[in-house]
A = this chain, B = another copy of it.
Amino acid sequence: MDGKLEILIAKLQEASSKADLQNAVFLLRDHYDVDHVVYHSVNQSREPYAALTYGEDWVGRYLEKDYARIDPVVQGCYQKFRPVDWKQLDWSGKAARSFLGEAISAGVGNQGLSVPIRGPNGQFALFTVSAKAADDSWQRFTSDHLSDLLLVSHFMNQKALEFDDAEDRTISRQLSPREVDALSLLANGQSRGQASETLGISEHTLRVYIEAARLKLGAQNTTHAVALALSHGLIIL
């Protein structure tokens, strides 16, 4: 990690508004001499957030067409832990190829590296660097700066969460152990009858737990409660 980047990261950690993050991606783009630097959250229920160097037209089209659903970068990164080079992704499929063509003509660049970032409560975001480059020089670039990009993506997301989590998204009350047991068993496919048997309690008691958990989570129904508990990390499959 060279000194210049340390300064950029320090600046990032001092960021006090979303505008500072927007500024940071431009600084990063210039620092690495790439075409684009993009940080964006990938979530449906919460309000989306992004700090990026793409043009407004491409961003608008991406959102309008809901490209996140077919974008192989998003889909692929969701399945992986380590940073993903765009070349490694599956670009077969009609939708993916036409999307790729459109992206390239929008000036996104033919090469890209995307870092998946996962936060609490099911948060998922991507930090991406993209450029127009030959395969070998791009490979050199990514392996040289992998650690840097990991750190930048981490601090970028940390800041984004700070600004975003102002509107508290955290669960007010924790679930009781029994409530966790109940939702866990349901999430693992057991019916209420099976789950109550597993726990050695009456089915009614199990229902009380589910209902209590449902209220705490503000869920509409059992499936919703399980989904919320899962994505909030309150239960683990």
Which residues of A does B touch, CB under 8 Å? 1, 9, 42-45, 69, 78-82, 116, 118-124, 147, 150-151, 154, 157-158, 161, 170, 177, 180, 184, 186-191, 219-224, 226-228, 230-234, 236-237
Contacts and interface: CB of A to CB of B under 8 A. Distances in A.
Contact of A230 (B1, B122, B177, B219): B122
A189 B221 contact: yes
17 contacts: A45-B188, A69-B177, A78-B233, A78-B234, A79-B232, A79-B233, A81-B123, A81-B161, A116-B120, A122-B230, A186-B224, A188-B224, A189-B224, A190-B220, A191-B221, A226-B226, A230-B231
A87 to B, nearest CB: 19
B226 A43 contact: no
B122 A220 contact: no
A230 B227 contact: yes
A124 B227 CA distance: 17
Contact of A226 (B9, B158, B227): B227
Contact of A1 (B1, B121, B184): B1
A120 B78 contact: yes
Contacts of A150: 150-151, 154
Nearest to A233: B78
A144 B141 CA distance: 27
Nearest to A118: B118
Contacts of A227: 186-189, 226-227, 230, 237
A122 B1 contact: no
A80 to B, nearest CB: 6
A9 B177 CA distance: 39
Nearest to A161: B81
Most buried by B among A81, A122, A184, A228: A81
A226 B229 CA distance: 12
